[in-house]
Amino acid sequence: MTLDYAARNPLPLDVISIQSQVVYGTVGNNAALPTLARHGIRATAVPTVLYSNTPHYDTIHGGAIPADWFAGYLKDLERRRALESTRAIILGYLGSAEQADILADWLDGEKARRPQLHISIDPVLGDHDSGLYVRPELAASYRDRLVACADLITPNHYELGYLSQRPTDDYDATVAAARSLLGERLKTVIVTSSPGAKDGEIANLIVTAEHVAQSSHPRIDSDVKGTGDAFHAALTAALLNGAPLADAVQSAGDWVVAALRYTAAENSGELRFPPQ
């Protein structure tokens, strides 16, 4: 007996998470999917790179997903009708400029077919301490193609400066740089890891064409990786669950703070999420 899978209902999905993946650790999809699940969001992962672990360990194996595999993953999601129920696509770390170009074309097509689809991008490019930690051609693809595909982006100060090609030295300059990126599709820029209003705080600056707001949290000293990936996933989950933007940013920050405190309490070298 041959089963007609095409006649059956597809697996219901709320989010497609497209970013890095590791065998061991809590970064990229390994941070995003548990976060989404804890917030009641059904998700699947598309890896852009697959490594044994993050590079700060003494050994690492793996690499970027080949472009033909990556394009095939996206095409097969369409063939499986996975996007019929998808409400959001989130992007993080990419493995190559080829992947970025494939994604930009794919996202443009999906947005044209499903205008209500929420596309959120964390442009993982670098920071002030390290500079760019992706290849220049990949960074340029984020700037020149991918940002215009998003409804919302979550750059840090360094990434905002790179994407906008503007200074971000103070509050007014940061707001101006963020607003320079807004356009036909991109309506919200959340600048992460901004200075807080008080000592011992860190803030996320929420910038739209009409409003600017700031969401502050305690600064937790930690060197574990994956906090930005967890924040992005928690933010997306809160928005899909109906939270207003400012509340969603606050709850996402609270999620990361709780995770960092639990990680410290467990003396863990990898990000840990508190038990339910």
pLDDT tens per residue across span 106-151: 999 999 999 999 999 999 999 888 888 899 999 999 999 999 999 9
| Position 134 in a domain | yes
| Position 3 in a domain | no
- Token pair 């008080």 is found at 198
Residue 158 pLDDT > 80: yes
Contacts of 64 (CB under 8 A, 6+ apart): 48, 49, 95, 96, 99
| Position 119 in a domain | yes
Counted domains in the chain: 1
Query: What is the structure's pLDDT at 194?
Result: 82
Task: In whole angstroms, give the CA distance from residue 15 to residue 90.
Answer: 7
Query: What is the structure's pLDDT at 1?
Result: 57
Helix, strand or coil, per DSSP, at residue 153: strand
How long a stretch of residues is the chain? 276
What predicted TM-score, i.e. pTM, was given to this entire model? 0.95
Query: What is the structure's pLDDT at 200?
Result: 82
| Mean pLDDT within 76-80 | 96
| Position 5 in a domain | no
| Position 6 in a domain | no
| Position 4 in a domain | no
Phi and psi of 241, rounded to 5°?
Answer: -85, 5
Range of the domain at 229: 12-265
The CB density around residue 5, as the number of other CB atoms within 10 Å, is: 8
| Position 275 in a domain | no
Query: What is the structure's pLDDT at 195?
Result: 78
Structure tokens at 129: 């301490």
Task: In whole angstroms, give the CA distance from residue 230 to residue 42.
Answer: 15
| Position 2 in a domain | no
In this structure, what CATH number is given to the domain that contains residue 97?
A: 3.40.1190.20
End-to-end CA distance of the chain: 44
User: Which residues partner with 156 through β-bridges?
Assistant: 192
199 vs 75, more confident: 75
| Percent of the chain predicted with pLDDT > 70 | 99
Nearest CA to 195 out of 153, 157, 249 is that of 157
